[in-house]
Amino acid sequence: MRYIKFLIFLVPFVVLGQADLDKAKKFIADKHYLKAEQLLSKYVAKHETDKKSIELLGDAYGYQKKWDEASEYYKSLVDLEPSNANFQYKYGGALGMKALGISKFSALLIIDDVKTAFLKAAELDPNHIETRWALVELYMQLPGIIGGSKSSSLKYAEELQDLSTVDGYLAKGYIYEYDKSPDLAEKYYKMAIAEGGSFTCYEKLTTLYENEKQPEKAISTMEDAVKTHKRNAMHYQIGKVCAEYNIQLEKGENCLFTYIENHSAKDGVPKAWAYYRLAQIKRYKKDKVKALEFIDMAIVELPKIEPFRKERAQILKL
């Protein structure tokens, strides 16, 4: 009878705890990360070994770029369950992001911990794609004097390719782009498009062309992406490249009007930037009236953007 009474009293606390975690997950899904942090901090203080709540709290800190706190809670997960590859990966990732925001000397002191966590995650889970991506990037970005190595990056790119052909091609494209070998980067990004054809594949190739000052190729790739994925965001990107390089102005103008007409929050770029690009195109065409009309629309929507003010000054010189 006493055991039954104990269970009766225990159930409300269990239910309450799960309700807190469900609410925290909802906060994170809705991008209310501070609310999730506040709720989970109280919960974890009373449940110091509850791995799910600790992981969620680490995630809440991570989304806010609070890398000290995130790495602290991920480290506690690693201590609780060192054989969990995902915990090792998250710990290494948080430390790595922390290293990017501190002095080079201070970063040197934690790089070994970053590598150890990622390598342990890779060892624990031969199928962990995210860890291998992290190792590809880490070994490319580290100076050789502290362990950076293109050959090590390529090794993990090969492992990625065994797990996912597309990821392997994208990783190799990244390596060669970082290594200032654009022809090889282009080759592998094109192979990724042929293999998988995801939006990300097109985006990587487009960015490469933009970085290499090859706007015609960038525009052609984006047009292929629009046909395949029907994403309105690509209309803005085409218009942007046309405006930046003063090429294919009619195409750029049409794409920007299409972007504005079909704009929604998921497109990411505010309409004000499309108005700004239209103003640039009209300036190239010496249409001062329309150029001023569009730049003023951009400024009304986003009055603090300095490039908009500079563009207006240029238009007034026509």
pLDDT tens, position by position, 199-234: 999 999 999 999 999 999 999 999 999 999 989 999
CB 243 within 8 A of CB 262: no
* Judgement on whether residues 122 and 221 belong to the same structural domain of the protein: yes
Q: Is the pLDDT of residue 10 over 50?
A: no
Please, is 261 exposed, middle or buried when counting C-beta atoms within 10 Å of its C-beta (0-12, 13-18, 19+)? exposed
CB 127 within 8 A of CB 163: yes
* Judgement on whether residues 297 and 239 belong to the same structural domain of the protein: yes
What mean pLDDT value characterizes the chain? 90
How far is Cα 60 from Cα 237, in angstroms, rounded to an integer?
Answer: 31
Hey, which of 6-10, 43-47, 251-255 has the most confident mean pLDDT?
Answer: 251-255
Q: What is the mean pLDDT of residues 286-311?
A: 97
Q: What is the mean pLDDT of residues 64-81?
A: 95
Q: Residue 106 is encoded by which pair of tokens?
A: 């201070």
How far is Cα 259 from Cα 245, in angstroms, rounded to an integer?
Answer: 19
Give the residue from 216, 231, 246 where a domain finishes: 231
Instruction: Pick the more confident residue, 147 or 299.
Output: 299
* Judgement on whether residues 210 and 198 belong to the same structural domain of the protein: yes
* Judgement on whether residues 217 and 313 belong to the same structural domain of the protein: no
* Judgement on whether residues 210 and 260 belong to the same structural domain of the protein: no
Q: How many distinct structural domains can be found in the chain?
A: 2
Of the listed ranges 25-29, 62-66, 212-216, 237-241, the one predicted with least confidence: 25-29
Q: What is the pLDDT of residue 296?
A: 97
CA of 307: how far to CAs of 3, 239, 244, 276, 277, in Å? 71, 17, 13, 9, 11
* Judgement on whether residues 198 and 317 belong to the same structural domain of the protein: no
Q: What is the mean pLDDT of residues 271-280?
A: 98
Cβ neighbours of residue 169 closer than 8 Å, sequence gap 6 or more = 161, 188, 189, 191, 192, 195
The continuous run of DSSP H or E covering 160 comes out as helix 150-163
Q: Is the pLDDT of residue 51 over 80?
A: yes
CB 36 within 8 A of CB 44: no
pLDDT band at 149 (very low <50, low <70, confident <90, very high): confident
Q: Is the pLDDT of residue 6 over 70?
A: no
Q: What is the pLDDT of residue 102?
A: 83
Locate all alpha helices (DSSP H) within 125-232, ordered by sequence.
Answer: 129-141, 150-163, 165-178, 182-195, 199-211, 215-229
Q: Is the pLDDT of residue 12 over 50?
A: no
Q: Is the pLDDT of residue 309 over 50?
A: yes
pLDDT band at 83 (very low <50, low <70, confident <90, very high): very high
- Summarised one tens digit per residue, pLDDT across range 88-113 is 999 999 998 888 888 878 878 888 99
Chain mean position to CA 136 = 16
* Judgement on whether residues 219 and 256 belong to the same structural domain of the protein: no
Of the listed ranges 43-52, 119-128, 154-163, 234-243, the one predicted with least confidence: 43-52
* pTM of the entire predicted model: 0.82
Give the residue from 190, 214, 231 where a domain finishes: 231
Q: What is the pLDDT of residue 47?
A: 86
Q: What is the mean pLDDT of residues 42-66?
A: 92
* For the chain, percent of residues with pLDDT exceeding 90: 78
Q: What is the pLDDT of residue 2?
A: 45
Q: What is the mean pLDDT of residues 72-89?
A: 95
How far is Cα 237 from Cα 252, in angstroms, rounded to an integer?
Answer: 9
Q: Is the pLDDT of residue 146 over 70?
A: no
* Judgement on whether residues 196 and 245 belong to the same structural domain of the protein: no
Structural domain including 313 reads 232-318
Q: What is the pLDDT of residue 1?
A: 42
Q: Residue 306 is encoded by which pair of tokens?
A: 């300095």
Q: What is the pLDDT of residue 200?
A: 93
* Judgement on whether residues 63 and 184 belong to the same structural domain of the protein: yes
Q: What is the mean pLDDT of residues 30-54?
A: 91
Q: What is the pLDDT of residue 17?
A: 63
- Write the CATH number for 289: 1.25.40.10
Cα separation of the two ends of the chain: 91
Report helix, strand or coil for 90.
Answer: helix
Q: What is the pLDDT of residue 144?
A: 60
Q: Residue 93 is encoded by which pair of tokens?
A: 């990732």
Long-range Cβ contact pairs of 182-190 (< 8 A, separation 24 or more):
182/208, 182/212
Q: Residue 32 is encoded by which pair of tokens?
A: 């209310």
